């Protein structure tokens, strides 16, 4: 059978594309190499508990906000979302505590009370966040109606912050909840910074019973709309003929044909699947292979003794000392982390699970690169246990006595992500975007092959919100902007002659 669209990878990007395209009436198949779908947002089970991997909270789900309509169309609004506290980010820097509030007005009011001398800058910054969030769909508007929000992509976030604020402590506080991106002074674009913070300040939500439900709900929707989602289907080769992808071959020998192929993989991995190509020139492959990745994450997932720790409905961040930008130095003891509590599923007032997250660059774990899960040896176990102990000791600054509450702990590292999702270097947020090199690092969804498109966090934006946005852009290549605009607006769309190449 020939499909309209084959999608490689059932991560969030692949699943959102699959959902939209099958909704549009196209014959879609999603191929996932893993034993389960979701990629970075999959959950895993140990004992009687489910644990989350790359999902803790999402922004912008409130009515009229950035993700509301799209999540509605994807069937995700009916999941058991739980709004976080108004002061949803608690940030401790060098022993001092600060809060960020959700709701732009609350944000300005509460932060200006702490930093009255910076009130004007805070107000301007909040306006910038609001505009970024409001404009993120504007590139999808039918031609010529809106300005591009990507002007901010060429501006450097660190330069903006130091030009706007005089108080370095305020810059630390504003950046303190940014463990959801790589705070690199030299490269981080202002657009990435604003997008990564603005949607959460719009409103912030946890998901009761875990992030895996997002993937499951999307897959159910795809199947209901006539599409297919298949696990244990590792794509091994994209076969090119006459300058197009003619065949998608799996490692088990099966092969599929489709008019269009979408890859949710890292672009370098996508290039590697095209073993022989006339159309994809060596220069493009080299460019993809040379792009740098953001760091990975080490997560310590803690199972706590029942009724030992009151549930907290906010995130906590702890930095040992001021200097949030550049707090992470590979090889040095853990000096900053995020603490997230899982919403109790049984209505208990106590948290049963708490995750501690801290960045880890590939160079810290590269010496085990040739090993696989369960076969990494004692020195790896010793390294990750030492890291976990450092995380727990630092977390005790805001959760006193945490060590004594722990029943079990599980540790994942960039190597874990690399092995389960095949993500190069286990990068947490994909390719590193660079304000100074926007042309090379802001990738197009198009490739040199007309029927091969890209999606996922490596392109424009990362995170649940960013990957969803990026999927809209990928789908717009096939369905057209007018169709996508009506889709986002909740209008009925008819089956059309789409660009399925």
Ligand X SMILES: Cc1cc2nc3c(=O)[nH]c(=O)nc-3n(C[C@H](O)[C@H](O)[C@H](O)COP(=O)(O)OP(=O)(O)OC[C@H]3O[C@@H](n4cnc5c(N)ncnc54)[C@H](O)[C@@H]3O)c2cc1C
Q: Which residues of the shown chain bind ligand X in the complex (CB under 6 A)?
A: 8-14, 31-34, 39-41, 54-58, 180, 234-235, 264-265, 297, 299, 357, 417, 421-423, 428-429, 456-457, 462-465, 467
Closer by beta carbon to ligand X, 49 or else 412: 412
Closer by beta carbon to ligand X, 121 or else 211: 211
Residue facing ligand X at closest CB distance:
11
**Closest CB 146 distance from ligand X, rounded Å:** 25
Report the distance separating Cα 194 and Cα 83, nearest Å.
21
**Beta bridge mates, 266:** none
**Closest CB 287 distance from ligand X, rounded Å:** 19
Closer by beta carbon to ligand X, 108 or else 351: 351
Structure tokens at 96: 């001092």
**Closest CB 427 distance from ligand X, rounded Å:** 8
Closer by beta carbon to ligand X, 56 or else 285: 56
Q: Is 293 helix (H, G, I), strand (E, B) or coil?
A: strand
Q: Is 304 helix (H, G, I), strand (E, B) or coil?
A: strand
**Closest CB 114 distance from ligand X, rounded Å:** 25
Burial of 69 per CB tally in 10 Å (0-12, 13-18, 19+):
middle
**Closest CB 339 distance from ligand X, rounded Å:** 12
Q: 451 — phi, psi (to 5°)?
A: -105, 20
**Closest CB 252 distance from ligand X, rounded Å:** 11
DSSP symbol at 101 = -
Closer by beta carbon to ligand X, 121 or else 269: 269
**Closest CB 266 distance from ligand X, rounded Å:** 8
**Alpha helix positions (H), 99-251:** 104-114, 119-135, 157-164, 168-175, 190-202, 212-224
Report the distance separating Cα 53 and Cα 39, nearest Å.
9
Half-sphere exposure of 423 (CA within 13 A, CB side): 30
Closest CA to 83 of 54, 58, 51, 109: 58
Report the distance separating Cα 205 and Cα 58, nearest Å.
5
Closer by beta carbon to ligand X, 10 or else 140: 10
Structure tokens at 255: 């092969």
Crossing angle of helices 104-114 and 190-202, rounded to 10°: 100
**Closest CB 169 distance from ligand X, rounded Å:** 25
Residue 135 and residue 149 in contact, taking contact as beta carbons nearer than 8 Å: yes
**Closest CB 462 distance from ligand X, rounded Å:** 4
**Alpha helix positions (H), 413-493:** 414-421, 438-441, 463-479, 481-488
DSSP symbol at 481 = H
Closer by beta carbon to ligand X, 58 or else 394: 58
Closest CA to 210 of 359, 69, 59, 54: 54
**Closest CB 429 distance from ligand X, rounded Å:** 6
Residue 210 and residue 52 in contact, taking contact as beta carbons nearer than 8 Å: yes
- Rg of the Cα trace of the chain? 22
Closer by beta carbon to ligand X, 39 or else 210: 39
Closer by beta carbon to ligand X, 118 or else 192: 192
Closer by beta carbon to ligand X, 8 or else 484: 8
């Amino acid at each position: 059978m020939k499909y309209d669209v084959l999608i490689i990878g059932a991560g969030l990007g692949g699943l959102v594309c699959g959902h939209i395209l099958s909704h549009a009436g196209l014959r879609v198949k999603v191929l996932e190499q893993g034993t389960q779908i979701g990629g970075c947002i999959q959950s895993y089970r140990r004992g009687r508990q489910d644990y989350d991997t790359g999902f803790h909270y999402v922004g912008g789900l409130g009515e009229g906000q950035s993700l509301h309509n799209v999540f509605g169309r994807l069937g995700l609004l009916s999941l058991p979302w739980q709004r976080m506290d108004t002061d949803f980010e608690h940030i401790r820097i060098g022993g001092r505590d600060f809060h960020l509030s959700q709701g732009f007005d609350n944000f300005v009011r509460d932060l200006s009370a702490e930093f009255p001398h910076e009130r004007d800058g805070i107000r301007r910054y909040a306006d910038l966040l609001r505009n970024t969030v409001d404009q993120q769909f504007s590139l999808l508007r039918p031609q010529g109606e809106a300005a591009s929000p990507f002007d901010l992509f060429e501006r450097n976030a660190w330069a903006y912050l130091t030009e706007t604020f005089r108080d370095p402590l305020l810059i630390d506080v504003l950046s303190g909840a940014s463990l959801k991106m790589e705070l690199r002074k030299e490269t981080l674009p202002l657009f990435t910074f604003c997008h990564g913070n603005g949607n959460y300040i719009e409103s912030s939500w946890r998901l009761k019973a875990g992030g895996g439900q997002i993937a499951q709900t999307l897959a159910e929707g795809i199947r209901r709309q006539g599409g297919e989602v298949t696990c244990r289907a590792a794509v091994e080769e994209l076969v090119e003929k006459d300058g197009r992808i003619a065949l998608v071959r799996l490692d088990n020998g099966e092969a599929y044909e489709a008019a269009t192929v979408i890859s949710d993989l890292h672009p370098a991995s996508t290039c590697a699947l095209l073993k022989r190509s006339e159309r994809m020139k060596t220069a493009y492959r080299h460019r993809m292979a040379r792009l740098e990745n953001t760091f990975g994450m080490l997560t310590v997932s803690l199972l706590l003794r029942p009724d030992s720790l009151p549930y907290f409905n906010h995130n906590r961040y702890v930095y040992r000392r001021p200097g949030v930008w550049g707090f992470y130095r590979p090889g040095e003891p853990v000096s900053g982390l995020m603490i997230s509590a899982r919403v109790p599923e049984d209505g208990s007032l106590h948290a049963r699970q708490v995750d501690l997250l801290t960045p880890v660059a590939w160079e810290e774990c590269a010496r085990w690169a040739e090993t696989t899960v369960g076969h990494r040896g004692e020195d790896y176990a010793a390294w990750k246990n030492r890291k976990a102990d450092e995380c727990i000791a630092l977390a005790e600054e805001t959760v006193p006595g945490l060590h004594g509450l722990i029943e079990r702990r599980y540790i994942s590292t960039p190597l874990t992500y690399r092995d389960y999702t095949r993500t190069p270097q286990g990068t947490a947020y994909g390719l590193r975007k660079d304000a100074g090199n926007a042309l090379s690092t802001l990738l197009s969804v198009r490739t040199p092959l007309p029927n091969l498109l890209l999606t996922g966090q490596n392109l424009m934006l990362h995170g649940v919100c960013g990957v969803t946005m990026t999927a809209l852009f990928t789908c717009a290549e096939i369905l057209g902007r007018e169709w996508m605009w009506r889709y986002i607006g909740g209008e009925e769309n008819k089956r059309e002659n789409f660009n399925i190449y």
